Amino acid sequence: MDGEYRVERVKSGIPGLDELVNGGFPKNTTILVTGSTGTGKTTFGAQFIYKGAAEYGEPGVFVTLEERAQDLRRETKTFGWDFRKYEEEGLIAIIDGVSSTVGLPSEEKFVLEDRLNVENFLRYIYRVVKAINARRLVIDSVPSIAFRLREEAQIREVLLKLNTILLEMGVTSILTTEAPDPKAGKISRYGIEEYISRGLILLDFRERDVELKRYLLIRKMRETKHSMRKYPFEITNNGIVVYPSGEMY
């Protein structure tokens, strides 16, 4: 098949990235962003949602399961992003999935009260997505949904259910997860996230002299011709920037 068959694309909002994936993520897909701690997963997801609203007018939902909504807003302010503004305009909804778990009161509009019950969790996200007519969704992170589920089979079932619901909602989603040991080929926490996602992006560091350099690798992107090169990226004062013609040493 030649290039005539066209897939609708969703802009990532990350400078330099779209040109590596034929103009954007395939619409309505689930992309897994994996990496060890501090590699930029939360920033990646936040940028996808923020730029989606600010630059493309596309409503987005950010489900935060690792830090409180207020912490996310504060941290992303350092990139010059004003989440509040777009929340007030109804273009962004942040679902706070942390406060109730740690027993703190929350003044958030969207609060996940019962994280223990996965059915409720999925139903609530569905409701918020419909409420703002979201085109984009981020869940940060998958391990924090699954961390109470001890049995592998149960985790598998939840992730499959999540995937079905994401497809049905008609959103383009980013799920973040941990990469326990990318160099040994272990790129997701449960090893099953990568099968339910149609795209997989690895964020990592590489040592150069005495400095760690960030790089990004597109491991999989269905319906997309992409290279398997490692591309340098930086977290700048304006967020993530990828350098498509940059060299990895």
Ligand X SMILES: Nc1ncnc2c1ncn2[C@@H]1O[C@H](COP(=O)(O)OP(=O)(O)OP(=O)(O)O)[C@@H](O)[C@H]1O
Binding mask 16-35 for ligand X (x = CB under 6 A): -------------------x
- Tell whether residue 235 is a contact of ligand X (CB under 6 A): yes
Q: Which stretch binds Mg ion (CB under 5 A): 21-29, 36-44, 167-175, 209-217?
A: 36-44
Least spacing, CB of residue 111 vs ligand X, in Å? 21
Least spacing, CB of residue 225 vs ligand X, in Å? 27
Which residue in the set 28, 39, 42, 64 belongs to the binding site for Mg ion (CB under 5 A)? 42
- Tell whether residue 76 is a contact of Mg ion (CB under 5 A): no
Least spacing, CB of residue 40 vs ligand X, in Å? 4
Least spacing, CB of residue 172 vs ligand X, in Å? 19
Least spacing, CB of residue 15 vs Mg ion, in Å? 20
What tokens does 30 get?
């689930």
Residue type at 238? N
Size of the site for ligand X (CB under 6 A): 13
Distance CA 166, CA 168 (A): 5
Least spacing, CB of residue 34 vs Mg ion, in Å? 12
* Cβ nearer to Mg ion, comparing 142 with 200: 142
Residues 72-101 that bind ligand X (CB under 6 A): 78-79
* Cβ nearer to Mg ion, comparing 142 with 169: 142
Q: What does the DSSP assignment read for the chain?
A: --TTS---EE--SSTTTGGGTTTSEETT-EEEEEESTTSSHHHHHHHHHHHHHHHH---EEEEESSS-HHHHHHHHHTTT--HHHHHHTTSEEEEE-SHHHHT-----SSB---SS-HHHHHHHHHHHHHHTT-SEEEEE-SHHHHTT---HHHHHHHHHHHHHHHHHHT-EEEEEEE-SBGGGTB-SSSS-HHHH-SEEEEEEEEEETTEEEEEEEEEEETT------EEEEEEETTEEEE-TTPPP-
Main-chain dihedrals φ then ψ at residue 221, nearest 5 degrees: -155, 100
Least spacing, CB of residue 123 vs ligand X, in Å? 26
User: Which does residue 245 bind out of ligand X, Mg ion, none, counting CB within 5 to 8 angstroms by kind?
Assistant: none
* Cβ nearer to Mg ion, comparing 125 with 203: 203
Which residue in the set 2, 4, 6, 37 belongs to the binding site for ligand X (CB under 6 A)? 37
Q: Are 172 and 9 in contact (CB under 8 A)?
A: no
Which residue in the set 6, 225, 237, 245 belongs to the binding site for ligand X (CB under 6 A)? 237
Distance CA 23, CA 142 (A): 26
Contact residues for Mg ion (CB under 5 A)? 42
Contact residues for ligand X (CB under 6 A)? 35, 37-43, 66, 78-79, 235, 237
